[in-house]
Amino acid sequence: MLEYLLAQPQGQQLFWAWMIIGGSLLALEMVIGTQWLLWPAAAAVIVAVITLTGAPANLLVQIVIFCVLTLIMTLLSRRFLKPPVSEGADINDPHHRLIGQEATVIGAFDDLDGQCINGRVIFDGVEWPAQSERTDTPIGLSEKVRILAVTEGKLIVARV
């Protein structure tokens, strides 16, 4: 078996084999969308180009080159591309970007159940219902509040 791998010819057949592998991995990556198959697909294309150069590399050497390139590109991409998402963040949550931002009060805060008060705030041109804990002094109109959380379409806020 090893002799068979070492004696494989170079050229167009291996070029197209590596291109098919790379294209298949890229198509699968587009379906899955995880970025894990992007780098093996790129490595397969690079190995395909190497086969066209006529460099004396048999199939076994090409497989080793493919594995090494995949490993290097995967590790470098994790280091130099976008930073990982923090563990608590959900990238599909559109409200996560609101937390920690300041909003402006546009509707008076009134008593809800003796402990929390309801009002309305505006953030980034969008009006939101808001809820705040009871304080000694009421939160007035045009006051700034900090967004602490988003729950059931309502902002939980605190005075800045």
Average confidence (pLDDT) over 67-87: 79
Give yes or no for residue 42 having a pLDDT over 60.
yes
Q: Which domains, from first to last, does the chain contain?
A: 2-80 (no CATH), 96-159 (2.40.50.140)
42-56, 111-125, 129-143: least confident range: 111-125
The continuous run of DSSP H or E covering 126 comes out as strand 126-133
* Closest of 120, 113, 155, 114 to residue 140, by C-alpha: 120
pLDDT grade for 88, boundaries at 50, 70 and 90: low
Do 45 and 52 form a contact (C-beta atoms < 8 A)? no
pTM of the model: 0.49
